Structure 1
Amino acid sequence: MDKSLGSNAESETRDHLGVFAKNRVALIRYASTITGDAGWAEDVVQDAWTRFIAAAAVQTIHEPDRLLFRIVRNLALDARRRRAFESRLFAQDEIDAAQRIASDMPSAQARVEAASELAHVMDAVSRLPERTRNAFLLHRVEGLTLVEVGTRLGLSKSLVHELVVSALEHCRKALRPGGPRR
């Protein structure tokens, strides 16, 4: 039913404001139980007030308290649904973004290539003369210094250096395309 504009409209607006002020705390509490968030509840109640006033401008409201609570309930449910939807939407975006981040783990192809290279190096090392192989393994695998390798094998530091360099060159050749491989 349409309202006729007149002096009564100003009085009704004051009455509606009084109803809102009287129920504001209860409305926020009610909206908060639905939304689960006091900040969102405040927003819902403010939106409810603007919708309530808009409705009051075009029709007579017989039970303003009841209408306010119904508007708050509907807006709070909408806000909760929207929040749940956004959480699912953005959670999926985060999962997608995490999947696009490069992994520290090598790819399957890189692991296969590394295993192949290691096999070629191990094969090349196994074909080295015993003294060269021992000097190389003690220095490069066990981490001994050239002096420590020399002491252990009864060789000079310079000879150990030559043996290790020779072994490294042999391994490099084994890894080159067309290099010596069995």
Structure 2
Amino acid sequence: MRDGRKDSLERIYLDHSKRLKLFVRQLVGCPALTEDIIQEAFLRLRQAEVAGPITHPKPFLYTTARNLAYDKLRQDRRRGRVVDPGGSLAELDEIPTAEPSPQTLLEDRELLQRIESVLASMPERRRRIFTMRRMSEMSVTAIAAELGISESTVRNEIKTALLQCFAERNRRR
């Protein structure tokens, strides 16, 4: 690393580290974890600067630190560790996780059953066109050629099928 970049990184650290620590501390609530995240964020800034100068280091640091904090909170949550980020566990519920909640799974299964019912009640040609387009990912042109009908008919059938599915989805909201 050239001396100019080293000086630049030191200046960035001196200018932003205190405020960045406050920001991360509000997210994670733990001083030791805050220090680890700050260190990792600056390390990633340094690694990124190897490829070329970072024109806006402050947003880079804050975004990196926030993402690292959220990743750590998600990891702890998945492992069953209780983390109190500044006294509000409710905020953790707003952090997206890779796994849907049991309530979401139940609602999705019910919706899928209702959509399957709608598909089963459709006329055979509409259901076939819809599944060819959505499940087999066939083009409108290929569907029209295979069934010997016009492309506009295919589009109309897909539109009608979608409207029926959307109507069912919105029916119980």
TM-score, L = length of structure 1: 0.43
Q: Which has the larger radius of gyration?
A: 1
